[in-house]
Amino acid sequence: MSVQERKERERAGRERLIVATARELAEQQGWDAVTTRRLAERIEYSQPVLYSHFRGKREIIGAVALEGAAEMAVALRAAASAADGPRTRVAALARAYLDFAERNPAVYDALFQLDGGLAFADEDTPEPLKDAFAALLESLGQVAGDGVHPALFTETFWAALHGLATLTRAGRLPPEDTARRVELLVDRLAMV
């Protein structure tokens, strides 16, 4: 291995460590606890080393969001592929989305609540974000209905899921009714 390859591997390893540490700290204590000073202390590198990878917290949030989007896409596809029939697939997709949001609140915030400097619904949208949307579209596009644009239907269904995830987490909706809400969403919105 050349010196350049070793340096690139070490740099990539430091970057993964920064992102993993930021994510861990955010999941434990919230995003307000994630500062470059605290991250530098936890990873045992100086702040200038941290800044050589990310210009600041915003870019770190963006990196966590991209990692989370990739994980969400995998979870959504796994749930959909394990289900038989359109209705079961859409219900499994909705449950997987809500489960991901509940299990990964800091990642969910990085994806959808915080400014990570990422473009959504744009030609500059990073591939992991496009892929997470595609994971929804693959199943939801099949049940959009006649004359309904599949991407528009997927955006509407996604917005409903996001609302359920956000309102449940904020204590505005009782969590014990989540399964009933998913059934209602699938029955009425997807009409499958």
Taking the C-alpha atoms of residue 72 and residue 144, their distance in angstroms, rounded to an integer, is: 22
Q: Which of 105, 102, 99, 90 is nearest to 185 (CA)?
A: 90
Q: Is the pLDDT of residue 1 over 80?
A: no
Q: What is the pTM of this model?
A: 0.93
Running DSSP on this structure, what letter comes out for residue 31?
G
Task: For residue range 97-133, list pLDDT tens digits in order.
Answer: 999 999 999 999 999 999 999 999 899 999 999 999 9
